[in-house]
């Protein structure tokens, strides 16, 4: 993706101020930062950029280790507050309408985490310098046939998502492939993590419900992973392509059809009787 100015991992500097020298008692076990482009597949062969998002996270050993902190970085908005995330993390996230705007807000340089505990006054610092790119060299895209087949899908039948091959960046130390399907409430109803060489993922029948709307999210994930021996470090570059689809309405079972026909027959008898009475009154 030529418009994506991603960040890579260069020199690592960590200063652990909690516990013994060298961070032996470090309460943070990993930090990561990511710049991630997003796309929307709106047609069989149409994939459009929808901007992207930035995230920074510090993963804690325990939720009680730290309850706040700041992230300092080269962008004009620095510093920003780190707040509790969905997991045992302190996190910050932001998004932009274009990757150019996102890259301008979060440029290359040193990103420093300062974590604090308001009860114990404990602190810990960690920082990463980003100097190289590792974004995937291909944009996730369902094949035209696969995208078209999703529309008005029979929920009771299995479905195979076919997509283009994941072209990995040589700078990545790890790469992953993900597919998530979520319902209208945002809950994940199907998730898969095959080998990055895969170009198809099978979803069994019965996972989806009839007459409902869903979204898919196909992710090409590239990472630069390192460590200073105490705290793991990771820079990730997730390319997301999403799309919407609906399942076909439920088809009545044979027994249900029989009941419906009986109902129609009864209604017909009532109408015929009503018509005969009306004719008799006018005779």
Give residue-wise pLDDT tens across range 59-95: 999 999 999 999 999 999 999 999 999 889 999 999 9
pLDDT band for position 6 (cuts 50, 70, 90): very low
Q: What pLDDT is stored for residue 84 in this prediction?
A: 95
Task: Pick the range with the lowest mean pLDDT from 46-50, 105-109, 115-119, 223-227.
Answer: 223-227
At 75 the pLDDT is 94
- Confidence category of residue 127, pLDDT binned at 50, 70, 90: confident
Can you give the pLDDT at residue 74? 95
Please say whether the beta carbons of 113 and 123 come within 8 A. no
User: Which regions of the chain does DSSP assign to beta strands (E)?
Assistant: 12-15, 28-41, 47-60, 68-72, 80-84, 89-96, 109-116, 123-130, 159-162, 174-183, 188-192, 200-203, 213-227, 232-246
User: If pLDDT is split at 50, 70 and 90, which confidence band does 20 have?
Assistant: very low
| Confidence (pLDDT) at 244 | 97
pLDDT of 21 reads 34
Q: Provide the pLDDT for residue 169.
A: 94
Residue 88 contacts residue 62 (beta carbons within 8 Å): yes
- Judged by average pLDDT, the poorest of 6-20, 29-43, 243-257 is 6-20
Instruction: Name which of 241, 172, 191, 182 is nearest 214 in CA terms.
Output: 182
CA distance 90 to 177: 25
Mean of pLDDT over the chain: 85
- The structure tokens listed for 2 are 């030529």
Confidence tier at 16 by pLDDT (50, 70, 90): very low
Judge residue 224's burial from the number of C-beta atoms within 10 Å of its C-beta, 0-12 exposed, 13-18 middle, 19 or more buried. Answer: buried
Q: Which of 4-13, 142-151, 219-228, 241-250 has the lowest mean pLDDT?
A: 4-13
Whether the ω angle into residue 79 lies within 30 degrees of 0, i.e. cis, is yes
> Considering only CA atoms, which of 245, 228, 4, 230 is closest in space to residue 104?
4
Q: Are strands 47-60 and 89-96 parallel, antiparallel or unpaired?
A: antiparallel
Quick one: average pLDDT of 231-254?
89
pLDDT, residue 87, reads 87
Residue appearing with tokens 């029989």: 258
149-158 mean pLDDT:
95
Element (H, E) at 265: helix 254-282
Is residue 163 within 8 A of residue 143, CB to CB? The reply is yes
Provide the pLDDT confidence category of residue 2 given band limits of 50, 70 and 90: very low
Q: At 1, is the secondary structure helix, strand, or coil?
A: coil
Structural element, H or E, at residue 256: helix 254-282
pLDDT at 236: 94
pLDDT of residue 5: 34
Q: Which residues make beta-bridge pairs with 60?
A: 28
Contacts of 217 (CB under 8 A, 6+ apart): 178, 179, 180, 181, 182, 240, 241, 242
At residue 226, the pLDDT reads 86
Specify whether the CB–CB gap between 173 and 259 falls below 8 A: no
* Nearby residues of 129 by Cβ (< 8 Å), 6 or more positions away: 9, 10, 11, 12, 13, 109, 110, 111
Determine the pLDDT at residue 22: 37
pLDDT, tens only, 257-283: 555 566 555 555 545 555 555 555 555
**pLDDT of residue 194 exceeding 80:** yes
Q: What is the pLDDT of residue 266?
A: 53
């Amino acid at each position: 993706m030529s418009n994506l100015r991603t960040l890579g991992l260069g020199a690592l500097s960590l200063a652990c101020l909690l516990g013994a020298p060298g961070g032996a008692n470090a309460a943070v076990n990993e930090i990561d930062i990511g710049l991630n482009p997003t796309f929307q597949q709106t047609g069989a062969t149409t994939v459009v950029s929808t901007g992207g998002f930035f995230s920074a996270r510090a993963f804690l050993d325990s939720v009680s280790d730290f309850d706040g902190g700041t992230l300092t970085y080269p962008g004009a908005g620095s510093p920003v507050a780190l707040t509790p995330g969905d997991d045992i993390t302190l996190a910050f996230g932001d998004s932009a309408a274009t990757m150019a705007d996102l890259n301008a807000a979060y440029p290359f340089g040193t990103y420093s985490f300062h974590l604090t505990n308001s009860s114990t006054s404990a602190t810990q610092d960690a920082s990463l310098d980003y100097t190289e790119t590792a974004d995937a060299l291909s944009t996730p895209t369902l094949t035209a046939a696969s995208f078209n087949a999703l529309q008005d899908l029979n929920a009771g039948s299995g479905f195979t998502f076919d997509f283009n091959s994941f072209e990995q960046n040589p700078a990545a130390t790890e790469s992953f492939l993900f597919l998530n399907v979520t319902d209208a409430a945002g809950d994940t109803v199907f998730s898969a993590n095959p080998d990055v060489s895969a170009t198809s993922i099978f979803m069994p029948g019965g996972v989806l419900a009839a007459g409902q709307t869903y979204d898919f999210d196909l992710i090409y994930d590239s990472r630069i992973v390192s460590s200073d021996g105490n705290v793991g470090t990771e820079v990730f570059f997730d390319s997301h392509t999403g799309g919407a689809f609906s399942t076909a309405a439920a088809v009545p079972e044979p027994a249900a059809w029989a009941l419906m026909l009986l109902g129609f027959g009864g209604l017909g008898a009532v109408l015929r009787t009503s018509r005969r009475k009306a004719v008799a009154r006018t005779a």
